[in-house]
Every structure is written in C-alpha cells, then in structure tokens.
Amino acid sequence: MTTIAVLGAGRIGESLLSGLLNTGRPPEELLFTERSPQRAAELTEQYGIEHVDVPSAARRADILVVAVKPQDIEPLLDEMVPVVAPDKLVVSLCAGLPTKVFERRFAEGTPVVRVMPNTPMLVGEAMSAISAGAHAGEAHLELVEEILGSVGRVARVPETQQDAVTALSGSGPAYFFYLVEAMVDAGILLGLPRSLAAELIVQSAVGAAAMLREGEGHPVMMREGVTSPAGTTISGIRELEKHGVRAALIDAIEAARDRSLELGRVHETDE
C-alpha cells in the first residue's frame, strides 16, 4: 500500500485527489493538508479523505505531493524540512520551481520529481511533464507517472526543457481559450446568437482535438482535407496567413518560454 499526501488541496490538489479516487485508489491511501479548516472539512465531507497536519502527512505518507502556489512554498518547506525523512518521495506541482529549491532544503538523498501540469487536470485531461531531480530514479518516475496518469497524460522531459513545456502545455490551454473566444466573436459578427456560436466552436474544437489525438494524420493533412480548391476554408486561411497568425503563435510561445526562464532565475538567485 502506497499512501499519498497532497499538501495544499486547492484547485489542482483537489483535482488530483478526485482523479486518484476515480481511478480506484481507496480514500484510506490518501491524505491532504489545507490551511483553511472550513475547506478541509468540505473536502473530507465530499471525498472521505482524511485531513492531517504536515508532520502527520510526512510520517504516514510515502509520497508527498506539493500543490501550493509557488509564492507559498517557503513557509510550507519550513514545516516540511524537520519532519520529512529522505526515504519519502517529494513531488512538486509548483510551476517554475526547480527541483534544486527542494533538494537544497531536504536531507541529502531525498528524491524529488518536478511536474508541470495544466488546468485540464480539472476535467481529467491534463498534460503533465515530469522531470527527475538529482536523487529520483526510474521507480520514482514510474510512481509519479501512475499518479498523474489518473488525471491525464504524462511525458518525461529533462528538467532543462521545463521552461519550454511551461510555454507549450502550461500556457497552451489559455491560447486555445483565446482562439475560441475570437471565433465566437466572429460568429456574433456574422449574426449568430452567442450561445449557438459557442456551441458550434466548442464542439468543433472537441472534434478537431479528438481527430488529432486519434492520430488520423498530420495536422497539415487534416487541414488540407477540409481545404477544397476555391472553397471557403482557403479564403479564411489566406486571411490567417496575411495577418501572420502562425508567426504570432510562435512568437507568443517563445515569449512565454522567456518569461518562464526569467521567473526561474529568481529562484536561482535565492541560492
């Protein structure tokens, strides 16, 4: 039996607990910590999972999943460091925090795995990228794959690629939301009611995503499949090219990567 404690059961922490229950993990193998007693009571009522304090989580759990906001990490580390033994696996979901931030505080040899999840975790469709710290091995990565696999898909990446991952899948959902918002606006311009425009676009997004996932071909081939000679789609594509939408997306993702690097430097200078 492997016991998992989620430290900080906010949006992401709650989604993870819920996903673990949905994939058959018994509530007795799960624990969580929370600052607000009211929220803790609500979560226990809803999921039947025990709320504990940090020393108890550190004693009873084999895996400690840190899911507080990065700006809240220092007080939590102050609580964890005296009570976390080096045989516990520490899994950080904190965006932008290098494994070094944990390793330099915990006892030598403590395994740490860094995860960059994304918001579709809330609906069990996360894309999570995981990276091993200096003391985490194959068995640790497999455990984290199993945990994150309960709320979506998981890829292994070297930690040096986490800034690129943050820009692509971390921020990615926001770019899709932005595109959907713009397309719904276009529907309104064309005289459709907002609810109908939203239904048409959201279902088109879901359908296109399902085709992409099922791997029916390369995205270019899929687009060519709906772009007939002298048809409607090519007229639209010409406007997208004229407005440099492809270049804008590439620049946007590069800017997000640069910002992630910049935020990461703050933690490096803390050393």
Ligand X SMILES: NC(=O)c1ccc[n+]([C@@H]2O[C@H](COP(=O)([O-])OP(=O)(O)OC[C@H]3O[C@@H](n4cnc5c(N)ncnc54)[C@H](OP(=O)(O)O)[C@@H]3O)[C@@H](O)[C@H]2O)c1
Residue 148's identity, in one-letter code, is: L
100 is in an annotated binding site: no
75 is in an annotated binding site: no
Please tell me the chain's helix, strand, coil percentages from 3-state DSSP, rounded to the nearest 5: 60, 15, 30
Question: Which residue has the CB atom at the shortest distance from ligand X?
Answer: 10
DSSP 168: I
Q: How far is CA 151 from CA 1, 5, 19, 81, 119, in A?
A: 20, 16, 5, 28, 10
12 vs 197 by CB, closer to ligand X: 12
Cβ(14)–Cβ(146) below 8 Å: no
Provide the minimum distance between the beta carbon of 122 and ligand X in the complex, in angstroms, as a whole number. 8
63 vs 68 by CB, closer to ligand X: 68
Residues engaged in binding ligand X (CB under 6 A):
7-8, 10-13, 33-36, 67-70, 72, 75-76, 93-95, 117-119, 170
Provide the minimum distance between the beta carbon of 22 and ligand X in the complex, in angstroms, as a whole number. 18
110 vs 128 by CB, closer to ligand X: 128
Q: In what order do the strands lie in the sheet with 63-66?
A: 50-51, 30-33, 4-7, 63-66, 89-92, 112-116, 126-132, 152-156
DSSP 10: S
164 is in an annotated binding site: no
Distance CA 80, CA 83 (A): 6
64 vs 197 by CB, closer to ligand X: 64
Provide the minimum distance between the beta carbon of 201 and ligand X in the complex, in angstroms, as a whole number. 22
Provide the minimum distance between the beta carbon of 72 and ligand X in the complex, in angstroms, as a whole number. 4
Q: Which residues sit in the known binding site?
A: 67-70
Q: Which residues sit in the known binding site for NADP(+)?
A: 67-70
